[in-house]
Homo-oligomer: A and B are copies of this chain.
């Protein structure tokens, strides 16, 4: 059984603690959390520390903290010759302290507080500077996911940018749709089947094939009517830009 320490107490750390605690192949021997309270519902108090002096010695440290803290946390680990893997989409592994073998463990998913996720389906991108130790990282990932793959730091950055488009920006469009509904006394729930189907479609069709709507049809009457309808200039500008982008991709 691979013994690990998880460092962090935010959304990603909490989801990982839950997933690894349920796994037979991994033992989470300790969690490092500046805010012990945040993980006290997941870990026994004796296995939580907020002091690097009390950090247990294990073969692998999984660093699930904010991007800006990754380098600092890695440098404070009082051991050498271990594996340190961070979970960030954008931090290159060379930002980690070179006293340990530098790696990344990137789950391509969005994590929210009150929302369970099924790790089995979450793709996990792996990178490690010393190929001979790749198997250890792979063991870690396979313990919770069936979708494990290798990427380098450049690909991971690209994947993170793509994830911002298909997740954060998409969710923002949901929010704008929600606002339009609210302004017109329509329940947002009316859009839910459409939202779910739009996402489900791309498991079967390419986004190019799946596209429908006024921009795809170059239906200038409807586009014009929609732009007139949108009194909020920011929404109208976005409508215009995204419509043009669809037409340009036509």
A residues in contact (CB < 8 Å) with B: 11, 66-68, 90, 108-112, 114-115, 117, 121-123, 125, 147, 149, 151, 154-155, 157-178, 180-181, 183-186, 188, 190-217, 219, 221-222, 225-226, 229-230, 234, 237-239, 241-242, 245-246, 248-249
B111 and A212 contacting across the interface, CB-CB below 8 Å: yes
- Given A110-B212, A209-B112, A246-B172; A154-B202 close (CB under 8 Å): no
Contact status B205-A175, CB under 8 Å: no
Pick the contact of A222 from B90, B158, B213 — CB < 8 Å? B90
Which DSSP category, helix, strand, loop or mixed, fits chain A's interface? helix
CB nearest neighbor in B for A154: B184
**Could you say which residues of chain B place their CB within 8 Å of the CB of A165?**
173-174, 176-177, 180, 239
Contact B196 A200, beta carbon cutoff 8 Å: yes
| Chain B min CB distance to A10 (Å) | 11
Give 25 A-B contacts (CB < 8 Å), ordered by A residue.
Answer: A67-B221, A90-B225, A108-B193, A110-B210, A112-B201, A112-B209, A112-B210, A155-B185, A157-B225, A159-B184, A159-B190, A160-B226, A161-B180, A163-B177, A163-B213, A165-B180, A166-B194, A168-B213, A171-B202, A172-B245, A174-B207, A174-B210, A175-B249, A196-B203, A198-B199
Q: Which residue of B lies closest to A185 (CB)?
A: B155
